[in-house]
Amino acid sequence: MRDPAAPRTLSGAVYADIRADILAGRYAPGAKLSPRVIATQYKVSLSVVREALTRLTEQDLVVAEPQLGFSVVGLDIDDVRDISKLRILIEGEGLREAIEHADVEYEARVVASHHRLSRTQFLTGEAGETVTEDWARAHAEYHSALLSACPSPRLRDLAASMRETAELYRRWSGSFSTDQAPRDVPAEHRGLMEAALDRDAERAVAQLTDHINKTALLLEFYVEHRLLPPGGELGADAGGAAG
């Protein structure tokens, strides 16, 4: 008898692989995703692939348009700038209030989360192009720890929501970073920790502003210099899906 959970399991595997490849920057922003090509690659039905792609549209990683099909969400620099501006306003205020209400427990959380982040592998893949899921989790926990003493739960939640909205752009910036656009991310994180431990809210907010803006500037650099990988259908010029 056919396992009724099989299609969902297969769809989950296809979903996870495509999501990982999008976040890794292996597929260009705006690249077409052909359900038929993907189904052939994975040896699954079109319904399984469409279920996976539909889940990705719900996460705003894939766009579905009538008669045009599925494609990776585009890299919108105006959207990057807008998200960055809002993050600076919201997360900056949360960080300021957290430092104003800081205590020893807050300092311990910041130091512990920074230590975990600094000891977690950042990139993986054959060319070291993929931001690891472990690092992404440690990164989110670190930024959450920096705001953990903020007395407003709504402000903390709003800051977390904005970070999640920016996650795709942030991962793309990490994947695209090379010697042509150098960035010392560990030093940025260390500087944030030191400012928080020194209870220097102004310096901490300035460091956070610079930290967020560098992601936007890096993506702008790549767009302006046309260094992003060329568009193409998944499974064709964009490369094979991860195993």
Tokens of 84: 């960055």
| Range in 177-186, 192-201, 224-233 with the lowest mean pLDDT | 224-233
Q: What's the distance, Cα to Cα, between the start and end of the chain in Å?
A: 27
% the chain with pLDDT above 90: 51
| 86/88 Cα distance (integer angstroms) | 5
Nearest to 79 by CA among 155, 161, 162: 162
| CA gap 96, 92 in Å, rounded | 6
Tokens linked to 181: 């656009």
**Long-range contacts at 115-121 (CB < 8 A, ≥ 24 apart):** 116/141, 116/142, 117/141, 117/142, 117/189, 118/186, 118/189, 118/190
**pLDDT, tens digit (0-9, with 9 covering 90-100), for 195-224:** 999 999 999 999 999 999 988 888 887 777
Looking up tokens 């890096």, which residue turns up?
Answer: 218
Domains of the chain (ranges; CATH) run 6-72 (1.10.10.10), 77-224 (1.20.120.530)
CA distances from 108 to 130, 135, 196 (A): 30, 20, 11
Helix (H) or strand (E) holding 100: helix 77-100
d(CA 149, CA 132): 28
More confident residue, 58 or 153: 153
Share of the chain above pLDDT 70, in %: 83
68 pLDDT band, cuts 50/70/90, is confident
